[in-house]
Chain A
């Protein structure tokens, strides 16, 4: 960048650059996550079979994540696990976001005792450590993959519901909605024309920012052993198994799948942040 060029000429070019950069980041994150989810179709199950001749090999070109005590390829196992965890996390987070949207809208538009009740339920949810609540629900519904999905879905909505409730209240008290009321527009018309355009972007960004939490908590539950069945290669299970082989010095069993998990969580974070920047009217022009 030269300092000689007048700022008026430089400005529009940079503006499109920044927008392009945001779009590129979003595209790359989506591509990365889609690749992980779909990877199981391409690589197949071949790497999951024990090959006793190549047990406990450290990471190499042939096996970038190394192999485990049965000679299974850790990259294949990690991808299978991550794919499963992502799918479970996506499903649970989506249900959670739907609950949040429903309760947030109800609290914001109906007001009165409905609002008070929903706010109180949110308070009660925040009054327990999140992990304890997760364990309690997963246990109560009988554990397993279903248990994890229900537990994650039932515990991640409160903060998003709060955001949506606040947004609805703010839109509701704004001048143009007040004016629409006075002009005799029906509540449905107002909801359709004023609420939805404001709430949808919030919900979308909220949903994507829910994913990392959902995936981390899914992994934590599986790691403890309350979540997904130990016969499935979920990422939490793989990490829990690696615990047993720690003292032997096979560090890659614990490190490499964790790196994949961290990258996936980060990808969702970036995706959410960039999407927010794109959708937020305050920053979207930049």
Chain B
């Protein structure tokens, strides 16, 4: 359904007055999403997860330039096509209630999404009612302002915006942080349901545990590129290919609880060779001259020359 290859995002910034500088935040990013599956995108903050979502939707700021190719249902995603599809075929489920207009009742905001999808007013109202029922939202919740709804309710309202849009691809951007564990499970189940209805779901998160609870495949981002794309079972079976993914897996509390040493390189000072080389236990001379390409190893994709050992 969606195939992203060699995506790059560059910002040209005016830093301190008239000094202009180019900042490449995403380099060589790859991702593939099929209908009916949940793909989790995992990575530390600054790895380019949210920017990927904004690039697919075509809502990056004006000073950003996008390279590489993005295909949606086999057709390239041009700016014009993005504009046509966003909110209709591709929907975003944002992070928090802060993404709702603070002065508009939540029911009205969901209804607005339905109307933007071409539904007449009355049909849009029915769609909102139906969706709120589906997510156990009381009818009076529609008349609440965003500041009045609880964290869990806000989650369901945000998922509702994607459901009324009939989107085929749903991108959920960090939907779980700061939530009660029960609400996290509930939210993830809602995303799973969306996939079972035949939609493609991208779950952007920095929480590997949450990702593994629901995802079919996991893409691990590092410093703006895809380090590895593995199936969810690979984590439990120890079939991980990239040293960074393995380190992330080991850092979980139920495993060895060892944090990954060092820091992600800043986009202003990326190494020439493998981006993970300065933190990597497997690093050799061969890692330094150029960036490794994404290649298939044991049924997954990985950007590491030592992955098949």
Interface residues of A (CB under 8 A from B): 7, 10-11, 14-15, 17-18, 283, 285-286
Q: How far is the CA of A11 from the CA of B12 in the complex (A)?
A: 13
Q: How far is the CA of A18 from the CA of B19 in the complex (A)?
A: 9
Q: How far is the CA of A262 from the CA of B202 in the complex (A)?
A: 59
Q: Is the CB of B18 within 8 A of A14?
A: yes
Q: How far is the CA of A17 from the CA of B21 in the complex (A)?
A: 17
Q: Is the CB of B16 within 8 A of A7?
A: no
Q: Is the CB of B17 within 8 A of A286?
A: yes
Tell me which residues across on chain A come within 8 A of B20, comparing CB atoms: 7, 10-11
**Interface SS of A by simple majority:** helix
Can you sample 20 A-B contacts with CB below 8 Å? A7-B19, A7-B21, A7-B22, A10-B20, A11-B19, A11-B20, A11-B21, A14-B17, A14-B18, A15-B16, A15-B18, A15-B19, A18-B17, A18-B18, A283-B17, A285-B16, A286-B16, A286-B17, A286-B18, A286-B19
Q: How far is the CA of A283 from the CA of B15 in the complex (A)?
A: 10
Interface residues of B (CB under 8 A from A): 16-22
Tell me which residues across on chain A come within 8 A of B17, comparing CB atoms: 14-15, 18, 283, 286
Tell me which residues across on chain A come within 8 A of B19, comparing CB atoms: 7, 11, 14-15, 286
Question: Shortest beta-carbon distance, B58 to chain A, in Å?
Answer: 25
Tell me which residues across on chain B come within 8 A of A7, comparing CB atoms: 19-22
* Nearest-CB residue, chain A, relative to B18: A14
Tell me which residues across on chain B come within 8 A of A18, comparing CB atoms: 17-18
Q: How far is the CA of A10 from the CA of B12 in the complex (A)?
A: 14
**Interface SS of B by simple majority:** strand
Q: Which 3 A-B pairs have the closest CB atoms?
A: A286-B17, A286-B16, A11-B19
Question: Shortest beta-carbon distance, B269 to chain A, in Å?
Answer: 13
Tell me which residues across on chain A come within 8 A of B18, comparing CB atoms: 14-15, 17-18, 286
Question: Shortest beta-carbon distance, A163 to chain B, in Å?
Answer: 24
Name the residue among B18, B20, B21, B22 with the largest chain A CB count within 10 angstroms.
B18
Question: Shortest beta-carbon distance, A8 to chain B, in Å?
Answer: 8
Name the residue among B17, B20, B22 with the largest chain A CB count within 10 angstroms.
B17
Q: How far is the CA of A15 from the CA of B16 in the complex (A)?
A: 8
Task: List 7 additional contacts besides A15-B17, A283-B17; criterion CB under 8 Å.
Answer: A10-B20, A14-B17, A14-B19, A15-B16, A15-B19, A286-B17, A286-B18
Question: Shortest beta-carbon distance, A14 to chain B, in Å?
Answer: 5
* Nearest-CB residue, chain B, relative to A286: B17
Tell me which residues across on chain B come within 8 A of A15, comparing CB atoms: 16-19
Question: Shortest beta-carbon distance, B18 to chain A, in Å?
Answer: 5
* Nearest-CB residue, chain A, relative to B19: A11
Question: Shortest beta-carbon distance, B15 to chain A, in Å?
Answer: 8
* Nearest-CB residue, chain A, relative to B12: A7
* Nearest-CB residue, chain B, relative to A8: B21
Tell me which residues across on chain A come within 8 A of B16, comparing CB atoms: 15, 283, 285-286
Q: How far is the CA of A285 from the CA of B16 in the complex (A)?
A: 7
Question: Shortest beta-carbon distance, A127 to chain B, in Å?
Answer: 30
Tell me which residues across on chain B come within 8 A of A285, comparing CB atoms: 16
Question: Shortest beta-carbon distance, A135 to chain B, in Å?
Answer: 41
Q: How far is the CA of A10 from the CA of B21 in the complex (A)?
A: 10
Q: How far is the CA of A279 from the CA of B82 in the complex (A)?
A: 45
Question: Shortest beta-carbon distance, A12 to chain B, in Å?
Answer: 8
Question: Shortest beta-carbon distance, A278 to chain B, in Å?
Answer: 12
Q: How far is the CA of A7 from the CA of B22 in the complex (A)?
A: 8
Q: How far is the CA of A17 from the CA of B22 in the complex (A)?
A: 20
Question: Shortest beta-carbon distance, B136 to chain A, in Å?
Answer: 46
Tell me which residues across on chain B come within 8 A of A17, comparing CB atoms: 18
Tell me which residues across on chain B come within 8 A of A283, comparing CB atoms: 16-17
* Nearest-CB residue, chain A, relative to B20: A7
Tell me which residues across on chain B come within 8 A of A286, comparing CB atoms: 16-19
